[in-house]
Amino acid sequence: MLITGFVSSPASAASSQTDVLGEARDFFESYGLSEETIDSLEHKLATEGTLHSMDGSDPVDVQVTETATATVTLETFEDGSIRVSSVDKPLEAGEDDGIFMPMAISQCQGRSGSGYVSQSNCLAFSSNGVTSMRFRFDYSHSNGGPSSISSGHSAASSSTYGSITTPVRSSWRQHSSSVQNAVLTYRSVYTGPMSTETWYLSVYLPQGKTPYTSSH
């Protein structure tokens, strides 16, 4: 299944290009990029069909921010483009019966028992302003044992330019160990007017700790 963008013919692309880049501009502005940088990125996307945040380049800066509901990673690339990834935080347990209580808009749902914590329906998400990918996952911890990612589901992607395939699971290590994280990875393929890029979104779960994301 392809989620199709606006590129179909030279006339169609020319008439819709402003709208496509306008959506990317809104994303960049929301993260404080300068007008000069945004203009440069819009020109690069229009003429080259891709940005460093889309082509597998390594970021030059990475900032991690903790909000009430998620851990958010902001990556900045050499051309000024950015990629924002987030993963829901685990829910906090109530004081009386161990049932986990929702944190603001977080959609994780969880329970705790004797030495056991379970989280479900947690969201992993990544966007570079042009393409985005998300999936939900379930995981658990147990005292003295491995952490586990038990499932991944509800994967989806979107693109404002070119097209992107629906994410498929590309790797899954269900259990962590003292030397390896549990990991769940989904893959999408973005096809632009001049290039094709494979995009991965992963959730890593260290033993006895909370999950974090990586996108490339």
How far apart (Å, rounded) are the C-alpha atoms in residues 2 and 72? 28
Q: Give the pLDDT confidence score for residue 60 in this predicted structure.
A: 97
Residue by residue, pLDDT tens for the chain (216 residues) are 333 322 333 333 333 444 556 678 888 999 999 999 998 998 888 888 889 999 889 999 999 998 878 889 999 999 999 999 999 877 554 433 443 333 333 467 877 667 777 889 999 999 999 999 999 999 988 776 788 999 999 999 999 888 999 999 999 999 998 889 999 999 999 998 888 899 999 999 888 777 777 787
Total-model pTM: 0.80
SS3 106: coil
In angstroms, the CA 158 to CA 128 distance is: 11
- From residue 82, give the alpha-carbon distance in Å to each of 70, 73, 75, 105, 158: 18, 10, 5, 24, 17
Q: Is the Cβ–Cβ distance between 49 and 192 less than 8 Å?
A: yes
Q: How far is CA 165 from CA 95, 115, 190, 195, in A?
A: 44, 40, 7, 14
Residue 176: CA atoms inside 13 Å, Cβ hemisphere, count? 25
